[in-house]
Amino acid sequence: MLQVNYIRENRDQVIERLALRNFKALELVDEVIALDERRREIQTESDALAAEANAAARQIGELMRQGKRDEAEAIKARSGGYKEQQKKLADEQALVEADLYEKLVLLPNLPHHTVPRGAGAEDNEVVLEHGHRPELPDNALPHWELATKYDIIDFELGTKVSGSGFPVYKGKGARLQRAMINFFLDQAEKAGYREVQPPILINEASGFGTGQLPDKEGQMYHVGIDNLYLIPTAEVPLTNLYRDTIVKETDFPIKLTAYTPCFRREAGSYGAHVRGLNRLHQFDKVEVVQLVHPDTSYEVLETMSTYVQSLLQALNLPYRVLRLCGGDMGFTSALTYDMEVWSAAQKRWLEVSSVSNFETYQSNRLKVRFKGENGKMQLAHTLNGSALALPRILACILEDNQTDRGIKIPEVLVPYTGFEWID
């Protein structure tokens, strides 16, 4: 959530940066400023009225002590309306603050100055490309056919049990999933992240804190009877561990990692591009999260991007890094890098990770603060990244490493799988 003081003091810049996102409801900026101005006016009026009431009370007390009862009663009669006026102001202030809050949560984060202009994915900037795209023979199979051929993933059985988008991993497919999870967690620990096993059901306050609510409410699974939500990513419970917390500046950077299943409704997603593992309702992911000092967050973002790339390099998967344009960024992000892996059989890029800096957008909602050297409370910066989401990684491992003998397991995973081939 944006800070009202910043909006008020930087109106033109806020409008310009929101326009970079192709955000249409720019009138909200002036509405927020007007409501904040009225809130401040009410507070000034309320403070002045309270001062008058206090002064009258002191004067009445002094007159009573002097035995001037008639004069005291006259002042008491004139000041009798103070309570009613104060209640009226308090009621108006409550309404104004509620309206202000409702409009503030509709404003997305402001893009960083390096975010390119653009309307959608086609306008994202390619930062770099790494590795060589494998050339497969004409009879090469996409991963969903390989999964059936080697009996490692059963999409139809998952549909029978739950519905489409809930695959069943079997045999070496299940072991490969577990191997990737353990490999990614071990690498995160080596990089200084502390492993956490968080809940996978969250309350509304947690969903609001990291920005999934109200923005993505329709994409989350809701357990209505208990008013809980299945997490779309471990970012949500991990970051919310520090909700309403004052951390020590010396604790930065706070680095957390977690493996969780993730759940997304993906409403409206259909077609060939979502076939197989390309888009699921339930999937496994290892997440990394950092809470850092504002002065270092963009340096940390680059470090996190490099770390995720190191995982893709270890798996020997060709990938590219995109800097997302204003029109393709998430609601809460100030700057996002997407990592995409080349699917040799599908002949297209598949997103496997997003690494984002949210600056103070999440921490303002979460109230994650620290006391700086000047003694003033400041908001921390929050960042997170997928390290990594498994489905499309598995899809590319299967497709890119298929041979006449079978599927060759990446060397770094062999100690975790206990086998070198799926055949």
- Whether 352 has a binding-site annotation, put simply, is yes
pLDDT on residue 98:
96
Q: What is the pLDDT of residue 270?
A: 58
Query: Known binder of ligand: residue 233?
Result: yes
320 annotated binding-site participant: no
Q: DSSP secondary structure string, 376-413?
A: -EEEPEEEEEEEEEHHHHHHHHHHHTB-SS-EEPPGGG
The Cα–Cα gap between 420 and 404 comes to 15
The per-residue pLDDT for 268 is: 52
Within a 13 Å sphere around the CA of 342, how many CA atoms are in the beta-carbon half? 18
User: Which domains, from first to last, does the chain contain?
Assistant: 4-104 (1.10.287.40), 121-422 (3.30.930.10)
Binning the chain into helix, strand and coil, the percentages to the nearest 5 are 45, 20, 35
The answer to the question of whether 21 is labelled as a binding residue is: no
Is 162 one of the annotated binding-site residues? Answer: no
Residue 364 among known ligand-binding residues: no
Please tell me whether 353 is known to bind a ligand: yes
Residue 297 annotated as part of some ligand binding site: no
DSSP state of 316: T
Q: For the CA atoms of 313, 317, 323, 328, what is the dihedral angle to 10 degrees?
A: -140
pLDDT the model gives residue 378: 96
Has this prediction a pTM greater than 0.85? yes
* 351 among annotated binding-site residues: yes
Look at residues 287, 384, 370, 377 and name the one whose alpha carbon lies nearest to residue 334. 384
CB atoms within 10 A of CB 256: 23
Binding residue per annotation — 266? yes
Positions of the chain with pLDDT under 50: none
Q: Given this model, what pLDDT does residue 80 score?
A: 62
CB 206 within 8 A of CB 237: yes
Cα–Cα distance between 252 and 296 in angstroms, integer?
Answer: 10
